[in-house]
Structure 1
């Protein structure tokens, strides 16, 4: 089974699991009166929709480039990650406000029902999290979905603790407190994903050793200056780099040899996927590495 089929199967398995958890926790929340269970059920419902959305984006991102999408469709996953991060942040804010209201207006909670539902939810969420954990390391879309599932797992574990404390000591206030703690954790994990997706969509320069790139390029025989550099990320794993390179006056076949060295250096040492070089002799030789004198796009 190839990676594409494996990803599709795992997305399906996780979606089915989350749908079952949603129904189970919603019923359990109504029976027990637990806000944390009901909020977790709503969270799981959002997760199920998010997982479907993420998988569709994953499939679209694998399409080859076309005449109208010359860089391909990789940013479909970035858009999905952005959507998921925003959803998580909005959900967290609603959970916090709901928990504050429950602290001010406490209600009776059945700790035993809450505990049983939370244990089942924890096991199911943990399985879902493990299914997507590997892909989350190198893919923002998978990471955003993984964070959904991880937050659900932590939430369910917190609800277990809450259920025990309510059943033993009748500490009903622990229910909204757990809700607030989980919501704060979701915010903490979601904000970096939001920041990175926005940076990619705004075509911010990736974090590279630009001083090192400049020094290494100048070491190549025939290059006298590098300027007018642009760098951006198509997605979190694909970097595009372009530069104007001043070279000694030479024949075109010699320039090609320098191109090969530049490509080998940038791809091998700095992980840059797509390199575009504009060769020049003296034009722009007084310009800086990053062009900042006027608009050029």
Structure 2
């Protein structure tokens, strides 16, 4: 069964083994060669291994169906995993930048040949892992965070190889910490949007849709006189939930249900809303704004 964003057990197993293996090789290579950028690549690979494990577990949890404990399901497990993985990337990157700055002021001797050999091995393993994890990275935040781990290591391996060549040919050891800073900076730059978007979803932030257009489209349906008290939030990066109060002409319940179906059709087809809750009203709230402040509304009802 080929599902979008789904990792097969074999793919997960192979990528995890590749990253665990190359982590051990690069740690040993970094220690023996004295290369900080090689050690940074090893730490990134170690982070990748945990990232894949976390992402896979979160993906499995997200497949669980709705129940009495989570009536909206478990999809946000992947958002939590993405937030954790992206945060881990930034923390590791900051640590590496601090160490790289120290190396700039206190250069150390480096075995460029050993550094180059290990970096090439790491590049091949990272390329294989990145290609295997590419599927689904454009449509799933959890997969994107995991894929970013792997992509960052691939770029890091390229940087380490360039640094190893410069060290081996020209003995320019300062290039090692410089490459470390550049790669770490790039990783932080790419990780921050994931963190920001994950926090927005967990805080029930509103999706980027045209609310005035929604109001106009719904009011254009015959029988609807006004739309107000709208709330919209994201369950994950792909699912939008929306609730809205709709003023309707006085009619039978069977007639109102036909309007409900029209409203749901407009919201799902045009605005890609996953779940819609509609509250029908006659005159109540007719003069309220589309985006209504709940605290003010409760105060009005109390008075």
Q: TM-score range by the shorter chain?
A: over 0.9
Cα offsets for 1:70-128 (capped at 9, x unmatched) = 00000000000010011011111111101001111110001111111111111110111
Distance (whole Å) between structure 2 residues aligned to residue 133 and residue 145 of structure 1: 9
Distance 1:267 1:285, change over 3 A: same
Distance (whole Å) between structure 1 residues aligned to residue 18 and residue 205 of structure 2: 37
Distance 1:249 1:5, change over 3 A: closer
Q: Is the 8 A contact 1:159 1:175 kept in 2?
A: yes
1:69 — aligned with what?
A: 70
Aligned to 1:235, the other structure's residue is in SS state coil
Distance 1:295 1:92, change over 3 A: farther
Distance (whole Å) between structure 2 residues aligned to residue 11 and residue 282 of structure 1: 56
Distance (whole Å) between structure 2 residues aligned to residue 193 and residue 5 of structure 1: 19
Q: Does 1:126 align with 2:124?
A: no
Distance (whole Å) between structure 2 residues aligned to residue 224 and residue 7 of structure 1: 50
After superposition, where does 1:24-43 map in structure 2 within 5 Å? Answer: 24-43=25-44
Q: CA deviation at 1:294?
A: 2.3
Q: CA deviation at 1:238?
A: 0.9
After superposition, where does 1:108-147 map in structure 2 within 5 Å? Answer: 108-147=109-148
Aligned to 1:102, the other structure's residue is in SS state helix
Q: CA deviation at 1:40?
A: 1.2
Distance (whole Å) between structure 2 residues aligned to residue 8 and residue 191 of structure 1: 29
1:47 — aligned with what?
A: 48
Distance (whole Å) between structure 1 residues aligned to residue 194 and residue 281 of structure 2: 39
Distance (whole Å) between structure 2 residues aligned to residue 31 and residue 172 of structure 1: 15
RMSD of equivalent CA atoms: 1.3
Distance (whole Å) between structure 2 residues aligned to residue 97 and residue 67 of structure 1: 47
Aligned to 1:136, the other structure's residue is in SS state coil
1:294 — aligned with what?
A: 295
Distance 1:6 1:56, change over 3 A: closer
Q: Does 1:175 align with 2:150?
A: no
Q: CA deviation at 1:10?
A: 1.8
Distance (whole Å) between structure 1 residues aligned to residue 157 and residue 73 of structure 2: 39
Cα offsets for 1:252-286 (capped at 9, x unmatched) = 11100000001111111111010000000100011
Distance 1:5 1:74, change over 3 A: closer
Cα offsets for 1:147-205 (capped at 9, x unmatched) = 10000000000000000000111000000000000000001100000000000000000
Distance (whole Å) between structure 1 residues aligned to residue 132 and residue 216 of structure 2: 43
2:237 — aligned with what?
A: 236
Q: CA deviation at 1:296?
A: 6.2
1:13 — aligned with what?
A: 14
Distance 1:76 1:295, change over 3 A: farther
Task: Point out where structure 2 has 5 or more consecutive residues left out of the alignment.
Answer: 299-303
Q: Is the 8 A contact 1:8 1:55 kept in 2?
A: no
Q: Does 1:258 align with 2:259?
A: yes
Q: Does 1:60 align with 2:61?
A: yes
Distance (whole Å) between structure 2 residues aligned to residue 220 and residue 17 of structure 1: 57
User: What TM-score comes out, normalization by structure 1 length?
Assistant: 0.97
Q: CA deviation at 1:231?
A: 0.5
Cα offsets for 1:20-51 (capped at 9, x unmatched) = 11011011111211001111111211210111
1:78 — aligned with what?
A: 79
1:150 — aligned with what?
A: 151
Q: CA deviation at 1:292?
A: 2.2
1:96 — aligned with what?
A: 97
2:301 — aligned with what?
A: none
Distance (whole Å) between structure 2 residues aligned to residue 35 and residue 255 of structure 1: 68
User: What TM-score comes out, normalization by structure 2 length?
Assistant: 0.95
